[in-house]
Structure 1
Amino acid sequence: MQAANTNAAEPAVAVGPREYVTVLVGEAMFGLAIERVHDVFVPSGVTGVPLAPREIVGLINLRGRVVTALCLRRRLGLPDRAPGAACMAIGLEQGAETFALVTDGVGEVLKLGADTSEPVPINLDARWRDLATAVHRLDGRLLVILDIGALLAFGESLAA
């Protein structure tokens, strides 16, 4: 079980307007802090990594850098997308490492304030709750803000 998120760069509830890049996984919509997003691209040439955790899709050459590709679907405990289905990737950095977060799609950039922000609901699936910092209610949809640090933390949660 992971401890509560305490990443100072990504507060649990926004105090002022913040911008998020929205990503789609099935019907769910997630937000990533725009300051952590470096690239948006179509992943290609993925090289598998033997014995890697299930969440690791493989390695990708991103402008001359070898980056680890992580499947957001798998990280959230969701079934794989259909073979051949289109996908997009978000380039993220964590420490000195670069990662490609593979998603079903990338939406728009939203600037959101504290008026739509709420703490992570206690009834949200534990896998999602451990990776989220807040939620925003938007015109009948829920935007789950992901803690990029927790999302990219490779440890016991990936071995399960």
Structure 2
Amino acid sequence: MQAANTNAAEASLSGERDYVTVFVGDAMFGLAIERVHDVFMPSGITSVPLAPREIVGLINLRGRVVTALCLRRRLGLPDREAGATCMAIGLEQGSETFALVTDGVGEVLKLGPETCEPVPINLDARWRDLASAVHRLDGRLLVILDITALLAFGEALAA
């Protein structure tokens, strides 16, 4: 236990953070690992009449009914092909649990400040408003998503 605490302290001092990578098409996004509670394959999604387009429905996650949010739709991208497999990430926001439906889940990356850059001004406005930073990784761009902004879609629609 002492070694784990030492590693966490060293990471915090060095500015390194862990991110779970998720994919939507060819784009790669990062979610702060401390906000991720589950990674699973969603099944049995029940649609919700009159819900915002981003909401694909409700699912049962370990006995809890949670709202399933489509990352593709939240980013303003077209729906994936019918029958395509998907993965979901369980996230908490306040007292609400969400399932973020993605095309796929990758690995956990430990990233430091040397690859971190501010969100580029030329990034699509729909993505820019949901991003907190980007990391340039071997010719790929990892867009770090602000989970609070990502899950605040209902508040934006109500305003």
2:80 matched to which residue of 1?
Answer: 81
2:69 matched to which residue of 1?
Answer: 70
Residues 55, 158 of structure 1: 8 Å contact kept: no
1:5 matched to which residue of 2?
Answer: none
SS in 2 for 1:45: coil
Distance in 2 (CA, whole Å) between partners of 1:147 and 1:52 is: 22
SS in 2 for 1:155: helix
Distance in 2 (CA, whole Å) between partners of 1:70 and 1:155 is: 11
Which structure has more relative contact order (CA 8 Å, sep 6+)? It is 1
SS in 1 for 2:28: strand
1:4 matched to which residue of 2?
Answer: none
Root mean square deviation, CA, Å: 1.1
Task: Indicate yes or no: 2:145 matched with 1:151.
Answer: no
1:22 matched to which residue of 2?
Answer: 21
For residues 21-60 of structure 1, the aligned pairs below 5 Å read 21-60=20-59
Alignment deviations for residues 66-107 of structure 1 (CA, whole Å, 9 cap, x no partner): 000000000000000000000000000000000000000000
2:8 matched to which residue of 1?
Answer: none
Cα gap change, 1:117 to 1:24, in 2 (>3 Å): same
For residues 99-118 of structure 1, the aligned pairs below 5 Å read 99-118=98-117
The runs of 4+ residues in structure 1 deviating greater than 3 Å are 155-159
Distance in 2 (CA, whole Å) between partners of 1:125 and 1:75 is: 13
Tell me the matched-pair count.
145
Distance in 2 (CA, whole Å) between partners of 1:123 and 1:33 is: 23
Alignment deviations for residues 17-50 of structure 1 (CA, whole Å, 9 cap, x no partner): 0000000000000000000000000000000000
Unaligned regions of 5+ residues in structure 2, if any? 1-13
Identity of aligned residues (%): 88
1:6 matched to which residue of 2?
Answer: none
Residue 154 of structure 1 deviates from its aligned partner by 2.5
Residues 70, 100 of structure 1: 8 Å contact kept: yes
Distance in 1 (CA, whole Å) between partners of 2:78 and 2:22 is: 17
2:11 matched to which residue of 1?
Answer: none
Residue 158 of structure 1 deviates from its aligned partner by 4.7
Cα gap change, 1:156 to 1:63, in 2 (>3 Å): closer
Distance in 2 (CA, whole Å) between partners of 1:113 and 1:46 is: 37
Distance in 2 (CA, whole Å) between partners of 1:80 and 1:91 is: 20
Q: Quick check: which has more Rg, 1 or 2?
A: 2
Residues 54, 158 of structure 1: 8 Å contact kept: no
Distance in 1 (CA, whole Å) between partners of 2:153 and 2:15 is: 30
Q: Which amino acid aligns with 1:85?
A: A
Higher helix proportion, which one?
A: 2
SS in 2 for 1:74: helix
